[in-house]
Amino acid sequence: MSTAAAASTIRALLAEAIARLEATGLPTARQDAEWLLASRLGVERFALYLDPARSLESETVRAFEALVARRAAHEPLQHLLGFEDFRGLRLRVTPDALIPRPETEGLVEWALELLALSGGPDTAPALPQSTGISVADIGTGSGAIACALAAARPDIQVFAVEASSAALVAAAKNVYALGLAGRVRLMRGDLLGPLAAQAGRLAMVVANLPYLPSAVLPTLPREVRDFEPRAALDGGPDGLALLRRLVAAAPGALRPGGRLVLEIGEEQAGALASLMAAEGFTDIASRADLRGIERYIAGAWA
């Protein structure tokens, strides 16, 4: 085998890419290189090691090296791959919406638990029986939460609201690709504004709104700071600007016993619990994420 051919094998390309990514300080250098090469070849990562001596065409090599260069510049892996997996769903990812994160899977899990406790449509006499259970996902972004809820509960209707028209395009692609267009309704607007017709009818309002204090943004990792939309991160001076508004507006949208379920930032649970109690919410509780950080809060509208 010639030197040029050897340099174009899967084994050699991976080794070179891993070394380059490690030199930039990326702790996931090996996984990232594997994901990028596997995506170019249209195979799963493990398949790379079934034939490591396989030589690749120059076009594939150049395309892979271009991806590695972008990852070395800290462009998010999900942007390069074009997708992220979220609760078993493969979601398309673009720079126009926040990349779905494992923490938000925990928000969906809790929301589903609370929906199971709330019962079926017969618990809401103000709703026609055919209406079923209506849930609102506020600030839907890529549509991750809305799609995950609808996929897990075929009996619910989800209103997915987003202020950014570009993010709403990304959400629409996911909704249609997953075959959920019949049960996830996309709406553009500010918080609960587009849902005036649903006043007092929603079984749940769930949201992963921006909760980072503005002063924190410059300290974020480059992948987040330089490549993800600021509007999806910036929660104002104390991180609670949008959350405070949603807590105040949610009682007008929820039916009796309906739940408000939020993903929140570190050390925000106490402040939000007070805000929710002042608005008339009961059964207020918080829950920690897998790292032990209070990441979610929920309350029932009495």
The angle formed by the CA atoms of residues 53, 58 and 63, to the nearest 5 degrees, is 100
Q: Do the bridges between strand 184-188 and strand 156-162 make them parallel or antiparallel, or are there none, so unpaired?
A: parallel
Going across the sheet that includes 202-207, the strands are 184-188, 156-162, 133-138, 202-207, 254-263, 294-301, 281-288
pLDDT at 125 over 80: no
Helix, strand, or coil here: 239? coil
Q: What tokens were used for 243? A: 């959350």
CA separation, residue 141 to residues 166, 169, 173, 183 (Å) = 9, 9, 12, 17
CATH topology of domain 94-301: Rossmann fold (3.40.50)
Q: Please determine, for residue 121, whether its predicted confidence score (pLDDT) is greater than 90.
A: no
Instruction: Assess whether pLDDT exceeds 50 at residue 3.
Output: no
CATH number corresponding to 3-73? 1.10.8.10
Q: What's the pLDDT tens digit per position in 166-198?
A: 999 999 999 999 999 999 999 999 999 999 999
pLDDT in tens, 220-234: 999 999 999 999 999
- Note the pLDDT tens digit of each residue in 229-277: 999 999 999 999 999 999 999 999 999 999 999 999 999 999 999 999 9
> Helix count (H) and strand count (E) of the chain?
11, 9
Report the C-alpha gap between 254 and 302 in whole angstroms. 10
Chain-centroid distance of CA 283 in Å reads 26
- If phi over 0 gives left and psi between -120 and 50 gives alpha, with beta otherwise, what is residue 117? alpha
Residue 6 has pLDDT above 80, yes or no: no
Q: Rounded to two decimals, what is the model's pTM?
A: 0.89
Which of 280, 150, 163, 159 shows the shortest CA–CA distance to 230?
Answer: 163
Say how many CA atoms lie within 13 Å of 125 toward its Cβ. 0
Among the listed residues 234, 228, 229, 232, the one whose alpha carbon sits nearest the alpha carbon of residue 214: 234
Calpha distance 249→301 (Å, rounded): 12
Residues 128-165: pLDDT tens digits?
333 479 999 999 999 999 999 999 999 999 999 999 99
Residue 282, Cα to own-chain centre: how many angstroms?
A: 27
Buried b (16+ CB within 10 A) or exposed e, 92-103: bbbebbbbbeee
Check whether 123 has a pLDDT greater than 80: no
For the chain, the domains span: 3-73, 94-301
